[in-house]
Structure 1
Amino acid sequence: MISFEELISKWQKTKVLINNREIKGYIPETKWLNKKNLMSMLEKHQAVFVKPSLGTGGSGIIKVQKGEDGKEPIYTYHYVKKIKTFTTFGKLYSSLKRKVEKIQKTKKRAKGRYMIQQGIPLLKYEDRLFDIRVIVQLNKKTKKWEPAGIVARAGHPAKIVTNYSSSGIPMRYEQVMGCFLSEEEIPVYREKLEKLVVKMANRLSEKCNQLQILGFDIGYDENLKPWLIEVNLEPRFKSFKKTDMDTYKKIESNFTGYRGERPVESKTKRKRSKWTLKNVLENQSEFRQFVPETKWFNPTNLSDMLDRHRMVYVKPDNWSFGRGVIRVERVEKEDGSNEYTFQRKTRIYTYDTFADLFASLDKEIKDIMQKRKTKNKKYIIQKGIHLLKYEGCIFDLRIMVQRTPDQKYEVTGMLGRVADPKRIVTNFHSNGKVYPVEPLLAKHMNGEELVAYKNKLRKLGEQIGQLYNLNAIGLDIGLDRDFFPWIIEVNIWPDPYVFDELEDKTMITRIIELRNHWKKLDI
């Protein structure tokens, strides 16, 4: 038997698998790194990957290639985003050796002796190399290995690895393989792949009985033959959050630790997130219609919602004042192709492919999160509402709902917020302007209709106030071109002083009166 610690080595796993006849044909040729082995492998395969035997997360991997410049050989190596070129093998090897030594000293995740692996010419999705991550788990009752989840990973165009930590994009297997297979062929290829990795899992567990969960990284070549790139004994499965939350929850619920130890308890969701507040409304059939479709941010959900709605808003789950909100659009051009854009604050970016859009958008979100200290780093996608406009600028309504001393709910304030012409949010903190409701709606309805409409909104606000059982909530209501009131957001810490911007002080007086009442009681 082999211990868990010994089997962590890529070399050890390769040795175990390559000794099985059924599996051997799917394992790339692998040798230890030295001058002689590198030369022979380049002569045979033209492209190889030089990687640390104990490395994780795609760290420290270098792609080495041999080509021709006319009749003369030319050698290159590609590390992260940098490519170096050499006219002789000797110069290549000397530079490569120095690079490996430097990586081993500076990269914590690039551990162990370096090895050479046959390069597999991976298929591409939208000009991005991709591979497949398959998770298999040991069934607690049957003690048999079972496929738990499968996801595709499209790499960054300038990088040689597909990992999410290296700017790779997790995507649905069916979406990516649909570029190469018919709808009928996709489940057939998926089943074959799952059977192959289960065979590999059985072989590994014969040699190590501590295994509980495994992650197989599989690459397809141009003939759609699967090749094993790597086996992970401690696989992360967060990428399933980005593509298939149900699969993620299934894997997590069956997760018994990497060596059978008790798993760490998952953190509970923050109770006052946009997602949680939205669920309160959706759980009531009479209010569900007012909630724009909302999903967690991931490439599958974003692609799906853009296909159906064409415009969506991507926003932080737990922030306020319109911070971090991004508008994303899909535009169909005259030639039938798609163009994608996203806007944050006043900046607009345009892309020709969805993959390029998502890669840039994902990086933008990561940059936003790094600048703010917050525990909740989740983003949601919300169906975009084409809001009514006032003097060419979009506007929405803020409705303040408060609990009265006799435990009833009262709409104590209602105002309009008109966005800055160059921005996508209406918040006062984002240069929006505050207006009374009447002049904003006067261009769309007559006096009697306006009074009736305000009463309708007031009734809606009072009914919703009862659901949350708080002393005050602020409803952000967006009106579409049919005057349908969409509940864009529910604020449980509404700013009362935005009403002080209005010339009429009746509303702010009542708001502060009730606010002070509950403040004295400290409820």
Structure 2
Amino acid sequence: MISFEKLASKWQKTKVLKKNFEIKDYLPETKWLNKKNLKSMLQKHQAVFVKPSRGTGGVGVIKVETGEDRDERIYTYHHIKKTKTFKTIGKLYFSLKKKIDKIQTKSKRGQGRYMIQQGVPLLKYENRSFDIRVIVQLNKKTKKWESAGMLARVAHPAKIVTNYSSSGTPMKYEQVMASFLSKEEIPVYKEQLENLVVKMANELSAQCNQLQILGFDIGYDENIKPWLIEVNLEPRFKSFKITDMETYEKIESNFTGYRGEEPVKAKPIKKRSKWKLKNVLEKQSEFRQHVPETQWFNHENLSDMLDRHQMVYVKPDNWSMGRGVFRVERVKNEDGSDRYMFQRETKVYSFDSFAELFASLDKQIKDMMKKRKTKNKKCLIQKGIHLLKYEGRIFDFRVLVQRTPDHKFEVTGMAGRVAQSQRVVTNIANHGQGYQVEPLLAQYMSDEQVQAFKIKLKELGEKIAPIYNLDAIGIDIGVDRDFFPWIIEVNIWPNLYGFDELEDKTMFNRIMEIRNYWKNR
């Protein structure tokens, strides 16, 4: 048997699947990256992809192509928006190694030894690359693998990867494939693809019995032959909400975690560091998809995250109450050029270049830290979530979970926090305002949907609390325009701002009852 951790390697998954002769024909040629292999692969294939063996989200993928310029052989690589051309394999390989070193220094999602994968000439939809994401789940009752959902992912015109996190567009399988197949052929090809990925799932699970859900990324070539691009052991499936809510809910209802039910950690967490609190949550695969991407603040990380997300938040690692938070954006001018902005409190600063933005932002952060005289001067960059709004103001939810006298974890408080107009944080201590949950969601959902969403938040809170094993935690949850909950922050010393100003004091009284019980023990 192979452990989950070992099978997470793309190389190991390829190695397992290649042993099955029925599957082998659908796998692109793959080799470890070195100068000799790069040369031989480019002699056989016009294009290859250089990618990390343990990367996720399309991070670190580099496309390398070979061609001719004035009868002279040239080599070109593409990474995000950058393109470089070389006349020799040696120079190409040297530049690739430097680029890989930079990627691995700044991104935890581009790790592992690098591989070279055969570039398959894929079909294009409206001149944009696309692949097919198929989610396969282990049926709880029958213990058999079943196809749970299928959609197409169409790449951003300027990107070489199709991932949703890299600005890819999820679309219905039938809509995209209608450009290549007749109405009668579409269900036939869909069923063939489902049978193929189920066969692959059986092969992988025979070697690792921890698997519960898998995501297969499949590309079609010009003959509409499927090719396996990648297998994800911990696939996100949020993009199904955009194309097919019914399928999303079916997947979620059968979702028990990437490795089934995992044991809860019981060691109390007492550090206020946002980075450490975030890491604790990310280690639990059930919650990982709810945590926005977070990196340490520096020049390279900020540039990279703005390229991929356009909007991020920069915040001190261990401050509270929304103090010191900056909203940073990259926007397009009418002429197509980039403009950079950041906002702190209600003041907005605008710049023509990223260099100007970073210099000003970095100076403000250093000045801010000097005034506070704090030992921990680190800041984080967090992927920006476009939150729902109430009367033009962003809002999120504070979910308070307490340990009851009988040592069970109970959500005793749930309230909305609406930011003051033009401000970037919702904290009550930073001019935010407390609200009941219902009126905030009423403009987006029916009464029944609001109650169902509250139950979802409650379940999320009561599952998370045992991980930290404290008498009380406050979880700040933001909801995006697809109604997906994001865990913005976990507070291990939660205040009661917002709950005390609600007209109905039932919730506040229950919170104080439990707080006083532990205080007086």
TM-score (norm 1): 0.53
Tell me how far apart the structure 2 counterparts of residues 520 and 45 of structure 1 sit (CA, whole Å).
68
Q: Do 2:42 and 2:65's aligned partners in 1 also have CA atoms closer than 8 Å?
A: yes
Q: Secondary structure at the match of 2:115?
A: strand
Residue 237 in structure 1 maps to residue 237 in structure 2: yes
Deviation string, structure 1 residues 29-72 (Cα, Å, up to 9, x no partner): 00000000000000001100000001011000100111011311
Q: Deviation of residue 367 (structure 1)? A: 8.1
Q: Deviation of residue 93 (structure 1)? A: 1.1
Residue 208 in structure 1 maps to residue 229 in structure 2: no
Partner of 1:436: none
Partner of 2:415: none
Equivalent pairs counted in the alignment come to 296
Q: Secondary structure at the match of 2:396?
A: coil
Deviation string, structure 1 residues 356-394 (Cα, Å, up to 9, x no partner): xxxxxxxxxx78659975338xxxxxxxxxxxxxxxxxx
| Structure 1 residues 192 and 522, CA gap change in structure 2 (3 angstroms) | closer
Partner of 2:259: 259
Tell me how far apart the structure 2 counterparts of residues 56 and 265 of structure 1 sit (CA, whole Å).
16
Name the aligned partner's letter for residue 150 of structure 2: I
Partner of 1:163: 163
Partner of 1:120: 120
Name the aligned partner's letter for residue 6 of structure 2: E
Name the aligned partner's letter for residue 375 of structure 1: D
Q: Deviation of residue 265 (structure 1)? A: 8.9
Tell me how far apart the structure 2 counterparts of residues 77 and 189 of structure 1 sit (CA, whole Å).
33
Q: Deviation of residue 264 (structure 1)? A: 5.3
Tell me how far apart the structure 1 counterparts of residues 161 and 34 of structure 2 sit (CA, whole Å).
23
Partner of 1:25: 25
Q: Do 2:50 and 2:116's aligned partners in 1 also have CA atoms closer than 8 Å?
A: yes
Name the aligned partner's letter for residue 120 of structure 1: V
Partner of 2:15: 15
Tell me how far apart the structure 2 counterparts of residues 133 and 375 of structure 1 sit (CA, whole Å).
31
Partner of 2:395: 374
Give aligned-pair identity as a percent. 72
| Structure 1 residues 171 and 2, CA gap change in structure 2 (3 angstroms) | same
Partner of 1:102: 102
Tell me how far apart the structure 2 counterparts of residues 243 and 50 of structure 1 sit (CA, whole Å).
30
| Structure 1 residues 367 and 202, CA gap change in structure 2 (3 angstroms) | closer
| Structure 1 residues 40 and 370, CA gap change in structure 2 (3 angstroms) | farther
User: What's the C-alpha RMSD, in Å, of the aligned pairs?
Assistant: 3.5
Q: Secondary structure at the match of 1:115?
A: strand
Partner of 1:442: none
| Structure 1 residues 114 and 522, CA gap change in structure 2 (3 angstroms) | closer
Q: Deviation of residue 120 (structure 1)? A: 1.2
Tell me how far apart the structure 2 counterparts of residues 521 and 261 of structure 1 sit (CA, whole Å).
37
Partner of 1:138: 138
Ranges of 4+ aligned residues in structure 1 off by more than 6 Å: 519-523
Partner of 1:353: none
Deviation string, structure 1 residues 437-457 (Cα, Å, up to 9, x no partner): xxxxxxxxxxxxxxxxxxxxx
Tell me how far apart the structure 2 counterparts of residues 223 and 129 of structure 1 sit (CA, whole Å).
15
Name the aligned partner's letter for residue 374 of structure 1: F
| Structure 1 residues 39 and 259, CA gap change in structure 2 (3 angstroms) | same
Name the aligned partner's letter for residue 168 of structure 2: G
| Structure 1 residues 368 and 9, CA gap change in structure 2 (3 angstroms) | closer
Name the aligned partner's letter for residue 206 of structure 2: E
Q: Deviation of residue 167 (structure 1)? A: 0.4
Partner of 1:359: none
1:42-441 paired onto structure 2 within 5 Å: 42-261=42-261, 369=387, 374-375=395-396
Q: Do 2:258 and 2:286's aligned partners in 1 also have CA atoms closer than 8 Å?
A: no
Deviation string, structure 1 residues 386-410 (Cα, Å, up to 9, x no partner): xxxxxxxxxxxxxxxxxxxxxxxxx
Tell me how far apart the structure 1 counterparts of residues 503 and 41 of structure 2 sit (CA, whole Å).
78
Q: Deviation of residue 201 (structure 1)? A: 0.2
Tell me how far apart the structure 1 counterparts of residues 76 and 146 of structure 2 sit (CA, whole Å).
41
Name the aligned partner's letter for residue 47 of structure 1: A
Q: Secondary structure at the match of 1:235?
A: coil
Q: Secondary structure at the match of 1:2?
A: coil
Q: Secondary structure at the match of 1:375?
A: strand
Q: Deviation of residue 183 (structure 1)? A: 0.5
**Structure 1: runs of 5+ lacking an equivalent:** 268-346, 350-365, 377-428, 431-469, 476-518
Tell me how far apart the structure 2 counterparts of residues 521 and 138 of structure 1 sit (CA, whole Å).
45
Name the aligned partner's letter for residue 172 of structure 1: K
Tell me how far apart the structure 1 counterparts of residues 211 and 12 of structure 2 sit (CA, whole Å).
15
Q: Secondary structure at the match of 2:235?
A: coil
Q: Which moved more, 1:217-226 or 1:257-266?
A: 257-266
Tell me how far apart the structure 1 counterparts of residues 59 and 503 of structure 2 sit (CA, whole Å).
57
Q: Deviation of residue 121 (structure 1)? A: 1.3
Q: Secondary structure at the match of 2:250?
A: helix
| Structure 1 residues 520 and 204, CA gap change in structure 2 (3 angstroms) | closer
Q: Secondary structure at the match of 1:28?
A: coil
Q: Secondary structure at the match of 1:222?
A: coil
Tell me how far apart the structure 1 counterparts of residues 505 and 203 of structure 2 sit (CA, whole Å).
64
Tell me how far apart the structure 1 counterparts of residues 505 and 177 of structure 2 sit (CA, whole Å).
58
